[in-house]
A and B are shown apart, each in its own frame.
Chain A
Amino acid sequence: MSNAATRLSSTDLQSTSGVERDDEQTLDVQVLKDAAKKALVNALNSASFSSPLNLVNGAKTLVLDSTLAGPLGLVTEVALLKNHGVDKMFWLEPGPLTSTTTNVIYLCRPLIKYVKIIADQIKRSSKESHKYRYTLFLVPRTSTLVSRILEEEGVLGDLTVSSYNLQFIPVEEDVISLEHDSAFRELWVDGDETIIYNSALALNALQHTFSRFPRIIGKGDYASKLATLLTKPLPEQQVVPADALNLPPPFDSLIILDRHVDMVTPLLTQLTYQGLIDELVGIRNSQAELPLSLLKPPSAPDPTNPSTSQSSTNITPVTNEKTKKHFLSASTDPLFADLRDLHFSSLGKRLNRVAHRIDEDYKARFEARTVAQLRDFVSRLNGLQTEHEALRLHTGLWEMLVPRTRTELFNKSLEVEQNLVASYETTAQINAIEEMIAQGADMQTVARLLCLASITAGGIKTRLLENVKKEFLQAYGYHLLPLLLSLSASPLSVLLQNPSPASTAAANKLPFTALRKSLRLLIDDNPEALEELENDIGYVYSGYAPISVRLVQCVAQKSGVISNPAEKASADDRDGKGKGSTSKKLFAHPIVGWKGFEDVLSTIPGKTFDIVQKMPSGTGAETPSLSGLLRPHEQPTTTVVFFLGGCTYTEIAALRWVGRQNKGRKFLIATTGIVSGASLIESIANEGKRGSGK
C-alpha cells in the first residue's frame, strides 16, 4: 500500500473515461425486469381467477420466503402487489398463519424446509376448520420433490401448485443476476446441480429475448455441463427466433466461467468502494444495512423493500445504532455510479472534488443577475439537492469505513493476502494466520486466508495445517469441523495438505505460480511496473488481477493479458490532457475463442470448451463458417459473461474496466448471485444447520 499516491491519479483517470461510458448503447436489460413483473402479476391474477367465485373476492394474502423478498424487491414494489389484490404480506415462518382473506398465496423457492412449514400451516388451519384457498408458486419452476413432500405430509390435495418463473433480474444496467445466494454451496459442497439447469433455462430465455449466442466459450467442469445443456433442446425451451435480418444480433458470444476456476479472487479482500461495503457492511440484493443516522433526513419508508412493512425477522446488527436497509444502485443514485468502482484509497479525493463542484454550483446563485439566470438556477436546484444528499450519504459511509480499514487485523489480513498471492514465505503467513486466530479475528477471514494459502501454495504442509486447524477449531468451536472437511473435500478442494495423502488424487491443483506469470496476475514492485498498475484490472485488488477477468480477456481482449491496452493511451494522455484517450481506443477484436491461450488454459483444472452454436435450421446457413462469425467491422456487440457460482463486485468493476478499453464491445455480466469470500464461507459453514429449520 506504499504507492497510494501514484494510484490516486491512475484511478481518477480510469473513472474519467468512465464518465463517457454511454457513448455506445448498452443492451436494455430492463425488459427482463418488466417481463418478471408481468409474470408476477399474471401469477397473482391467475390465483384469483381460477374460480369465478373469486371474481367477487379477489383479496389475497401473500406469504413470502424471506430469501425471495430481496430479489422480488428488485423486480416490483409493494404498491404493485397491492394493486393486484394483495391485502397482507407475511414471511414464511414456522407457526400458525392468520389470514383474513380466503385466498392464500405462497411464493417460495422449492426448498424442503419451506414446504414443511406450508404443510404445517395448512394442517393447522384445517384443524381449526378455516377454509382457505391455497396457491403455491414455486420459483423458478415446479418440482416433483415438492409435490412428493406435500403428498407425504398429506396436504397435496389442498393447494394448487404452480410456478413463478423468476429468472435474470437486472441489478445494474450491465449486471443481471439470478440472485440465488446459495448456488456456490449447492454446487461444490452439496453436489446439487439444480442451479445449472435453472441457469440454462434462464440463459435460454435470454437468448429468446435478445438473440442466440453464436459462440459459447468457457472454462470449468460445471461450466461445461451448462454449455452442453445450452446446446441441447430443453423441454421448456421456446424456439429461439431467427434473428431479424436487418438487425445484427446483439450478442457475439457467451463466456461461462464457473467459480471454481478462480477460487483465489473471492478469497481476497475487495478494495473497490462497492466491494469494501460488501466486505465490511454486507450487501444483499443490492441492499446494505446502513445506520439510520447516515440515511437522514428520514424519507418515506422504502417502498422497494417489503421487509420494512412486515419485518419480523430483522437481524439485529452488532452495533446498537438502528440500521435500515438502503438500496445501493446506480439507477437511483448517479453519484454511486461514479464511485462504486473506485479504489477505496482514491475515494476520499473524489468525494472532495464532487463536494467542491456542488459547492460551486450552489455559488452560481450569487452570479445570477437576471431573472432568467435565477430561474435557471432554481430549476437546477432540485437536482443539486439530490446530489448533495447522495454526497452526504457517501461521505458518511466513507467516514464509517475508514476506521474499519485501519484496524490491525484488517491490515494484517491484507498483508497476508498480498504475501500469499506473491508466494512470499508461505510458512510465515500460516504463522501469521495463527496469530490472527489468537488475536480473535473473524472465523470467515481466517478460513479465507487458509484457503488462499492452500491454493496459492498448492497445499499446506501437513503438520502446519493440522496445527492451524486445531487452533481454528479450538477458537471457533468444534462444530466447524464439517466446514473444514467440506473445504478440503473434492470437488471444492480449497484446503489441502501437502503432500496430499495417497488416497486422494492430487491431479487437479491450480498451478498458481505458473499462472501468475502467464496471465500477468501480479504487478511487480519495480517502478516501471508501477506504471502498469495504474492501468490494469489489478487495481481492484491493489495490484492483483483476478484470474476470472484475465480469462475473459483471453477471449475478448487478448492484448490486455500480455500487456496493457490502456498503457499507451495514458502515456499519450500525459502529453496532452485535452485530447482525451477515447479517440485512440482500439476497436475490439472479434471473438475467436481461446486462441493463443490454449496452453495456459490446459494447465488450469476443469474442462475448457469453445462451442460454435448451429443456427436454427431454416435460417439458411447451416453452420456458419468462421468468417461468418467475424462481424462486419465497427459493429458494436455485447459479450455475455456468466459466472456460475457467483461473482464479486471487484470482478464486475474489473470487467467494466476491460469494457472501457476498447470500442465496440460491451460486457453484460450475468451471474447466479453476487458473492464475497465471507458469504461463501458463511454459506458452507451454515450448511450443517440447514436441517434445523424445523
Chain B
Amino acid sequence: MDSAVEHPTSTWEAMPEGNVFYRRLQLYSIPGKLPDLSDFIITGCRNGGPIALMRDTSKIIAIGRVGPAFSRSQIQVFSSADEGLLLLNWDQGKIIRFGWTADERLVVVNEEGVYRLYDLQGDYQQHSLGSEAAEMGIIDARIHENGLVALTGSLTLLEIKDWEGGKPLTLANPGLSEPPHAWAVIPPDQNISRHVEVLLSVETTILAVDNLESLDQRVARGPFSRVSPSPNGKLLALLNYNGLLWVVSTDFQRSLAEFDTQTAGAEGPVNQVEWCGNDAILVTWKDLAILVGPSGDTLRYFYSGAMFSITELDGVRVIGQEVSDFIQKVPVSSMSVFRPGSTSPSAILFDAWESFTRRSSKADESIRTIRPELAAAVNECIDAAGHEWEPYWQRRLLSAAKFGWGFLDLYNPGDFVAMGQALKVLNSVRFYEIGIPLTYSQYQHLSPMHLITRLTSRNLHLLALRISSYLSLKADIVLKHWAGAKIARSKSSTTDAEDEELCKVIVDKFEKLGKGAVSYADIARRAWEVGRAGLATKLLDHETRASDQVPLLLTMNEDKLALLKAADSGDTELVYHVLLHLHKRLPLGSFFRLIEDGGERLAPASRLLQVYAREQNREMLRDFYYSDDRRVESAVLALEEASQMTDQVATITSVKAAENFFSEDKDRAFEAKMMDESARLLAMQQQLEKESDGKVKFFGKSVSETIRTCLMNGMSKKADKVKSEFKVPDKRFWYIKLHTLTALRDFNGLDAFARSKRSPIGYEAFVRHLVEAGHLKEAASYVIRCDAPKRVGLYVLCEDWRAAGRECKERGDKKGLEALRKQCPNSLIARELDTLSASMK
C-alpha cells in the first residue's frame, strides 16, 4: 500500500552545504500540450493562476512550424495544468507588455497608451493612460497585481492604481536620457511608504523613483540586465552584464549573497531571474534551472526544452514542455515530521501512529515519551498535512494528529476541522481539469472568497457554489456571476416569454440560494449591457433598493420609471439625480410633460424641480409654470423678481405682470386687486419722491409707512391723499398719525389733530401711547376726554395722583380714593389725598 505513493522525502534535495532542503513537486504532467515555449513571450499569474503566451516577433521561426493560427497577433491563455482557457485576437497597436492582476485578469498594454483588462471569458474593459501617453507613446511597462507603471516615449513614468480606469499619476521625473537597462516595480502594499517604488538600472547605478522624488542609490556594480524584487518587496536580485547575481536589500543597505552565473556551466544567456519564495532565487537558461540559496549554495534542475518560471509567495512554479513543477523550501512542519532521523515530537507521533496501525505496542511507548509535547506534535502534524500535495499523505498526517489528540485531556479540534475543510477544497481545485495548483500557504494568504471568485471567472459555478456552501460563505458572488454568465450565454432572443422564463430561473435561484441578499440591479445592468433591455427591466422589478435601481433605469432611458422609482424612494437626492439628468437630455417640453403627466405621484419631484429652478434657473421655472397654466405661481415668481429689482420702472412692470397673471384666474380677483393697488402705490411713491426732490425715500414702502413718511416730512396733505386713495380706515390712519406725531414730539399738532374731529380710536389710546412713550404730562391732558369710569386709572397711569384724587372726589368714590391712598408713592401725595378724602364728607 505504501509503495503506491512515494514518500514525501523522495522529492527533497538538500543544499550541498547545510541542512536546508528544497523540494520539487510535480504538479501536472503535460506532454505536448504547449507549443515551444522559447518562441513565445510568456506571463504567468501568481497563486497557481494561468499563463498567457504571445508570439515573440523578435525571433525567427521556421516557416514550417508557423501555422495559420499565428499569422496575426494572438494571445493564448492556458491554465496551470495547461488546459487551453482562452484565445484572444489582438487588433490594436503593438503590444508592449502584458501581465496579470490579482483577480486573474490579463492586462495588455499597447504602444499607444491603451490598456485592456481581459477576464478569462475574453470580455474586456479598455482604459487609456491619458493623452500625454498617447502622444509620446509607451515604450515599456511593468504590471503588478494592483496596478502598473508605464515608461513613456519621453522617458517619464506613469502610474495606474487599482484597475478602475482612474487617471494616471505622473511619478517623479528620473531625468533619463535613454531607456533603463532593466527596471522593476515594488508594489505599494509592499512598501513602508504605501506608494509604488520604481527601480531603474541606469548606467552603473540604480535609481529609486516614487511619486515625490527620484533617488540615486549610488551603486557602482551595474549596469544590470535583470532587476527582480522578492515577493515581499524586501530584497532585490540583480544580475549584471558580467553574469554576477547579487542579492541585496531594497534599501541597498545590506548585501546578502553573490553568485557568479558564468561558473554555473550553462550555455547561452540567462532567461529569467525569479524568486523562489523570499529566500532563494531561480536562475534559468534554456534547459537548466539553478536555485541559488541564501548563502550562495545552488541546486540544479534539468528540463528538456524551454521552461518558464513564476515566482510564488512560498516557492516558484516552473512550467516546462512536459511538466509543471513547484519548487519550494521544505516547510518547517514537513521537515520536522519527515526528515530522516528526525526525533521531533511530531515525527515520533507520526511513527507511533504508524506502529499503531500495524498493531505494534511501540505506539504506546512512543506516545509516553513525548507526552509533554503531545499537543505541539498534534498541531505540527496538522500543519504538515496542509503542506503535503498527495491526499494519501494528507490523510495519514491528519490521522496521526487525531490519534495523538486521543491522549490529550483537552483539545480544541477547530484547527483540525479547518485543515480538513481547507484540504478538501484545495484538492478539488488542484484537479487537473480545474488546474489551480494552490498551496495551503497561498490559500491562507488569499482567503476562500478569492478562490471562489477565481472559480466563477472560469465559469465553474457549480464547484464555486459547492465550495461556498461547504465553507458556509455567502453565495451571492457566485450567484451574481452565474446569472451574468447565464444571460450572456442565452441566445439573445427578443420574445417576451423567453425573457420571462430566464428572469424566473434567475429569481428562483437567487431566492433559494442567496436568501434575498443578492442585488438584482447588478444583474439587470449586465443584461442591459448585452442588449437585453426587456430582461433588464424584469430583473429590476425585483430590486428593492431604489438607489441601485434608478441609475440603471436612467441608462436604459426608462425615464418615467426612473423618476417614479426615485420619487417613491423618498430620497430627494435620487430625485435630483434623475431630474438633472433628464433636464440635460430631454427637450424642455417633453421634460415638463413627463413631470406633469406623473400626477400626484410625481408631485414631490415637481416641487423639487421648482426649488432648484427658483435658485438656479428661473427662466426654466417661468416656462414650467407657463406651460402648466399655473397663474398663481407665475405671479408669485414675478413678485419675487420685482422685490429683487433695483430699477423702479422694471419693478412696476413686474408687479403689473403679477397682476395680469392673477387676473387670468377668476378665483384670484382679490390678489389681482391688491397688485393693482401695489402698482398704483409704487407709481404714487415715485411721484412723491420726485416732489420731495429725491430727498425722501418712499419707493417700496407699505401704505402705512408711506403715510408715516409723509407725516414725518411735513407732507400732511399728501398723507391725506394716500389715505383717501387707498381707502385707509380712519382707525389705522389715526393710530399712524398719533404714533408719528408723538415720535416727532409735535404735541401741538397732536392736539389739533385730536380736536379735528371725534377720535375713531377713542382718547384712551392717546393716553396710553403717550405714557408708553414717556410723555406723562401730555398724556394726562387727554384723560378728561376718556370715559368717566376709566379716568382714575388712566390718571394713575400718568402718575397724576392729584387729578386722580380729584376725579374720585367728583365721582364721590370714597373707596377708590382709599385705594389710591394705598398705592401712592410718597407721603406728600398721601397727605393731599387725605385732605381730599376729608373734604368729601
Binding site for B on A (CB under 8 A): 52, 112-113, 141, 143-145, 148-149, 152, 190-194, 196-197, 200, 225, 228-229, 232-233, 235, 407-408, 435, 437-440, 466, 469-471, 473-479, 481-482, 485, 489, 501, 503, 688-693
Are B615 and A113 touching (Cβ within 8 A)?
Answer: yes
Interface CB pairs A-B, < 8 A, 19? A144-B573, A144-B580, A190-B607, A192-B572, A192-B611, A193-B570, A193-B608, A407-B772, A438-B734, A439-B765, A466-B670, A469-B674, A471-B729, A478-B702, A481-B639, A481-B671, A482-B639, A501-B667, A688-B640
- A112 to B621 Cα, complex, angstroms: 16
Are A438 and B615 touching (Cβ within 8 A)?
Answer: no
Are A476 and B702 touching (Cβ within 8 A)?
Answer: yes
B564 interface hit (Cβ, 8 Å): no
Partner of B614, one of A52, A470, A477, A690: A690
- A475 to B765 Cα, complex, angstroms: 19
Render B563-584 as a binary contact track against A, CB cut-off 8 A, 1 for contact: 0000000111100110010000
Beyond the given pairs A152-B616, A197-B572, 9 more chain A to chain B contacts, judged by CB atoms under 8 angstroms and listed by A's residue number, are: A192-B607, A193-B572, A194-B573, A233-B545, A440-B739, A473-B678, A475-B702, A477-B705, A481-B674
| Inter-chain contacts of B544 with A (CB < 8 A) | 232-233
Are A197 and B643 touching (Cβ within 8 A)?
Answer: no
| Inter-chain contacts of B671 with A (CB < 8 A) | 481, 485
- A149 to B583 Cα, complex, angstroms: 13
Q: Known: A408-B768, A475-B702, A688-B636. Is A141-B573 also a contact (CB below 8 A)?
A: yes
Q: Is the interface of A mostly helix, strand, loop or mixed?
A: helix
Task: Tell me how many residues of B have a C-beta within 8 Å of chain A.
Answer: 60
| Inter-chain contacts of B765 with A (CB < 8 A) | 439
Closest CB of chain A to B610's CB: distance in Å? 7
Q: Known: A144-B577, A191-B604, A477-B701. Is A688-B643 also a contact (CB below 8 A)?
A: yes
Are B640 and A691 touching (Cβ within 8 A)?
Answer: yes
Are A145 and B768 touching (Cβ within 8 A)?
Answer: no
Partner of A469, one of B571, B644, B670: B670
Q: Known: A144-B573, A235-B545. Is A691-B614 also a contact (CB below 8 A)?
A: yes
Are B704 and A475 touching (Cβ within 8 A)?
Answer: yes
| Inter-chain contacts of A143 with B (CB < 8 A) | 573, 576
Render B587-626 as a binary contact track against A, CB cut-off 8 A, 1 for contact: 0000000000000000110111011101110100000000
- A266 to B619 Cα, complex, angstroms: 37
Are B570 and A229 touching (Cβ within 8 A)?
Answer: yes
Binding site for A on B (CB under 8 A): 195, 212, 544-545, 547-548, 570-573, 576-577, 580, 603-604, 606-608, 610-612, 614-616, 618, 632, 636, 639-640, 642-644, 655, 667, 670-671, 674-675, 677-678, 681, 700-705, 726, 728-729, 731-732, 734-736, 739, 761, 765, 768, 772
Q: Known: A193-B570, A475-B732, A485-B636. Is A692-B607 also a contact (CB below 8 A)?
A: no
- A194 to B732 Cα, complex, angstroms: 43
Are A474 and B570 touching (Cβ within 8 A)?
Answer: no
- A571 to B218 Cα, complex, angstroms: 96
Q: Known: A196-B570, A408-B768, A469-B670. Is A478-B608 also a contact (CB below 8 A)?
A: no
| Inter-chain contacts of A481 with B (CB < 8 A) | 636, 639, 671, 674-675, 678
Closest CB of chain A to B728's CB: distance in Å? 7
Q: Known: A471-B729, A479-B639. Is A144-B576 also a contact (CB below 8 A)?
A: yes
- A438 to B734 Cα, complex, angstroms: 8
Are A200 and B614 touching (Cβ within 8 A)?
Answer: no
- A225 to B567 Cα, complex, angstroms: 12
Closest CB of chain B to A614's CB: distance in Å? 14
Are A692 and B768 touching (Cβ within 8 A)?
Answer: no
- A689 to B645 Cα, complex, angstroms: 12
Are B667 and A503 touching (Cβ within 8 A)?
Answer: yes
Are B735 and A439 touching (Cβ within 8 A)?
Answer: yes
Are B644 and A197 touching (Cβ within 8 A)?
Answer: no
- Residue of B632, B636, B772 most packed against chain A (CB within 10 A): B636
Are A52 and B616 touching (Cβ within 8 A)?
Answer: no
Are A193 and B604 touching (Cβ within 8 A)?
Answer: yes
- A440 to B738 Cα, complex, angstroms: 11
| Inter-chain contacts of B618 with A (CB < 8 A) | 691
- A689 to B610 Cα, complex, angstroms: 15
| Inter-chain contacts of A225 with B (CB < 8 A) | 570
- Residue of A145, A190, A233 most packed against chain B (CB within 10 A): A145
Are B670 and A190 touching (Cβ within 8 A)?
Answer: no
Partner of B616, one of A149, A191, A473: A149
Partner of B761, one of A232, A437, A438: A438
- A566 to B618 Cα, complex, angstroms: 57
| Inter-chain contacts of A471 with B (CB < 8 A) | 729, 732
Q: Known: A190-B611, A690-B614. Is A477-B702 also a contact (CB below 8 A)?
A: yes
Q: Known: A466-B670, A474-B704, A481-B675. Is A192-B644 also a contact (CB below 8 A)?
A: no
- A52 to B371 Cα, complex, angstroms: 56
- Residue of B212, B570, B681 most packed against chain A (CB within 10 A): B570
- A233 to B517 Cα, complex, angstroms: 12
Closest CB of chain A to B123's CB: distance in Å? 28
- A484 to B729 Cα, complex, angstroms: 21
| Inter-chain contacts of B700 with A (CB < 8 A) | 477, 479
- A439 to B734 Cα, complex, angstroms: 9
Closest CB of chain B to A242's CB: distance in Å? 17
- A437 to B732 Cα, complex, angstroms: 8
Partner of A145, one of B571, B580, B667, B728: B580
Closest CB of chain A to B381's CB: distance in Å? 37
- A473 to B677 Cα, complex, angstroms: 10
Closest to B545 in A: A235
- A113 to B701 Cα, complex, angstroms: 27
